[in-house]
Amino acid sequence: MSSLLHQGRASYAFFERNWNLTKRYLAWEIVWLVYNIVNAMSVTYIGASAQLITGVKINTSYLILYLLIGTSVWSYLSVTFEGVTDMITIERWEGTIEHTFMAPISRFTHLIGSCWYAVAHGLLFTFVQLIVVGSFFHLDLSHANYLTATFMLLAGSISFVGFGIGAAVLPLLFTERGSQMSYIVRAVLLLVSGVYYPVSVLPGWMQPLASISPATYVLNGLRAALLNNQAIWSGEIWSNTWPLIITGLVSVPLGVLIFKRAERYAKRTGRLKRNG
């Protein structure tokens, strides 16, 4: 009981610390939010202009919502991923990494403590982005099921956290450019998950990669919820939920395991130290 209380307190320590950092870096948060909004608008305007570009009459409203869901999920994934991988990069840069790693807490507590703030931060960030970008377009949300959409986003978060923990190994092992190296994981997810297009347009050899990406199922589920009013218990949503459950159950423990191995290697080779 006492140990559980300790781990709970420690987990909250990461949440509180990251919230304090967000407040102190508010200007950066605003810049990052504007950057994401501008990016999302640029992509969504492709949908608005599709009829003009092709000269063919298409359902522009559907396409806009299709792309907007893509940009929102991509933004959520990026912010959450950034939050998870940054837990090492920022600590290395500030020089606090040694103090955090010599604290008497389990690595699971450390990682999950950092991740639940990243998820909350990502959800809030994406919600604001969605409101702002949505206000620029006439969105047809008459077929939207918001409960299902929230459920899919939360179900996908667990897997995103697992993948994020796995990617956080890169800044742990590569002291100078590890954070940038973790971008490759995000880039591959962007390519194969059908963020802006159906997975079926990808070359045949690339399509199996989509089936191991949690973003694929989150996007499918969100589109079914917001474009086709699918309920949580519908067959279409379930077909995207169970792969997410499995991916989450596998990716989080696997991510923590990989991280622990990497930590041991870092302790053997002296990489667990401040940078600069």
Partner 1 sequence: MAIQSPEGAQITTDIVIDPTKDAIEIVGVSKIFKKKKPLVSRLLKRKKEAGKREVRAVDNITLTIKRREIVGILGANGSGKSTLVRILSTLLIPDAGYVRIFGYDVEKNERMVQRLINRVSVEASFFKKLSPMENLIYAARLYNMPGAEARAKIRSILGRLGIPKDRIGQPLENMSRGMQQKVAIARAFLTAPIVLLLDEPTTGLDPRSKIEVQTFVRELREQHDATILITTHDMDEAEALCDRVAIIDQGRIVAQGTVEELKQAVMERMERTTPVTMNEVFMHYTVAHLITDAEIARYGSWEKAFEAFEAQKEDEDE
Residues that bind partner 1 (CB under 8 A): 2, 5-6, 9-10, 12-13, 16-17, 20-21, 24-25, 90, 94-96, 98-106, 264, 267-270, 272-274
> How far is CA 204 from its chain centroid?
26
Nearer to partner 1, 21 or 132 (CB): 21
Could you tell me the smallest distance in angstroms from the CB atom of residue 121 to partner 1? 16
Nearer to partner 1, 138 or 268 (CB): 268
Could you tell me the smallest distance in angstroms from the CB atom of residue 181 to partner 1? 15
Could you tell me the smallest distance in angstroms from the CB atom of residue 261 to partner 1? 13
Could you tell me the smallest distance in angstroms from the CB atom of residue 185 to partner 1? 22
Nearer to partner 1, 21 or 144 (CB): 21
Residues 6+ apart with CB under 8 A from 220: 194, 240
Is residue 28 exposed (0-12), middle (13-18) or buried (19+ Cβ within 10 Å)?
Answer: exposed
Is residue 2 exposed (0-12), middle (13-18) or buried (19+ Cβ within 10 Å)?
Answer: exposed
**Amino acid found at 178:** G
Could you tell me the smallest distance in angstroms from the CB atom of residue 52 to partner 1? 47
Could you tell me the smallest distance in angstroms from the CB atom of residue 23 to partner 1? 9
What is the per-residue DSSP string for 229-246?
---TTSHHHHHHHHHHHH
Tell which residue, 252, 272, 254, 255, has the closest CA to residue 263: 272
Tell which residue, 156, 184, 188, has the closest CA to residue 170: 184
Distance (Å) of CA 4 to CA 105, 107, 109, 275:
10, 14, 10, 33
What is the per-residue DSSP string for 204-264?
TTTHHHHHH-HHHHHHHHHHHHHHH---TTSHHHHHHHHHHHHHHHHHHHHHHHHHHHHHH
Residues 6+ apart with CB under 8 A from 11: 109, 112, 113, 116
Could you tell me the smallest distance in angstroms from the CB atom of residue 106 to partner 1? 8
Nearer to partner 1, 24 or 261 (CB): 24
Nearer to partner 1, 143 or 273 (CB): 273
Nearer to partner 1, 24 or 177 (CB): 24
Nearer to partner 1, 204 or 270 (CB): 270
Nearer to partner 1, 95 or 208 (CB): 95
Could you tell me the smallest distance in angstroms from the CB atom of residue 161 to partner 1? 20
